[in-house]
Structure 1
C-alpha cells in the first residue's frame, strides 16, 4: 500500500464509514438487500478496475451464498438469464451512475429503475453506488493490498 489513508485522514474516513454503515443497513434491514448490494459493489468495482474491491466483494458475496456462475457472468449480465429484473435494473442504474460523465441519466432509465425501487430505495441504491465509487478511488489511488481482505 502506498499510504494508509485510514490513518492519514481519520475524520474523512469516518465520514465515509458512516455513509457506508447507512448503506449497509439498507442491505441488512432495508429494501436493497445484501445480495443486491454485493452485485452492485462488484459490478462497479469491475468497471473501475479496482482489484482490491473486486476481491473483497466477491469473497463477501460467496460467503453470503452468491453463486460462482452469477459472479463470473456479472460483467456480461445483459447477455445472461441469471439475474432478476430487479437486479438488472439495479445494475443498469449502477453502471450509468458510474459512467455518468458525458452520459447523464436519461428519463427512460430513471423510470425503468423506479419500477423496481421506492424513492428511498432508489436514493439508497444511488448512495451505495456513490460509496463504492469513492472506495474504489481510494483503493486504486493508494494501491490497497490486493488479496489481503478476509471476510468477517
Structure 2
C-alpha cells in the first residue's frame, strides 16, 4: 500500500494540469452533444469499478443535482441487466467499462452493445476522454487517500 501522501498538495501544477484535462473533456462532451447525465453515468461506473469512494460520492451528488433518479443510480453497477438505460447510455457505459478495464479486456466478456451503430465518432471520442479523465481522478483520489466521511 502506498503511503498516505496527498499528491495534489505536493505537486499542485500536476493537479492543475489534470483540471485542465477535465475542462477540455467537459467541452468535448458538450461539442459532441453528450447529455450531462450520460457523463455522470460514465464517471460513476468507472468509479465503481475502481472503488473510489470520493468520486462515487461526488458524482452521485452531481447526478442527483442534474436530475438523475435514485432508482437508476442503484442499477448503474448492473446496467446491462436492466431496461433503465437508453442505447446511448448503454454505449457510454460500455466505453466506461472498456477504458477502465483496459488491462483486462482479453479476459472479461464485453457487453453486447454495438457502440459504433449508436454513437458517432465525436461522441465515442468524447466519452472515451470522459472515461480516461475519471480514471485519472480515481487514481489521484485513491492514492492520496482523500477522506470520505459522512
TM-score clears 0.5: yes
For these two proteins, the number of residue pairs brought into alignment is 144
- Distance in 2 between residues matched to 1:51 and 1:143, nearest whole Å: 10
Residue 116 (structure 1) shift: 2.2
Unaligned runs of 5+ in 2: none
- Distance in 1 between residues matched to 2:75 and 2:148, nearest whole Å: 21
State the Cα deviation string for residues 22-52 of structure 1 (Å, max 9, x = none).
Answer: 1122344542221100000001000000011
Residue 12 (structure 1) shift: 1.1
Runs of 4+ in 1 over 2 A off after TM superposition: 2-7, 25-30
* Conserved 8 A contact 1:26-1:33: no
In structure 2, relative to structure 1, the CA distance for the partners of 1:72 and 1:137 (3 Å cut) is same
In structure 2, relative to structure 1, the CA distance for the partners of 1:47 and 1:99 (3 Å cut) is same
- Distance in 2 between residues matched to 1:82 and 1:93, nearest whole Å: 18
Residue 10 (structure 1) shift: 1.7
What is the match of residue 69 of structure 2? 67
* Conserved 8 A contact 1:55-1:147: no
> Of 18, 34, 49, which residue of structure 2 is paired with 1:32?
34
DSSP 3-state at the match of 2:72:
helix
* Conserved 8 A contact 1:36-1:87: yes
- Let me know the Cα RMSD of the aligned residues: 2.2
What is the match of residue 11 of structure 1? 13
Residue 6 (structure 1) shift: 2.7
2:108 equivalent to 1:138:
no
Unaligned runs of 5+ in 1: none
* Conserved 8 A contact 1:43-1:74: yes
Task: Write out aligned runs for 1:19-98 (5 A).
Answer: 19-28=21-30, 30-98=32-100
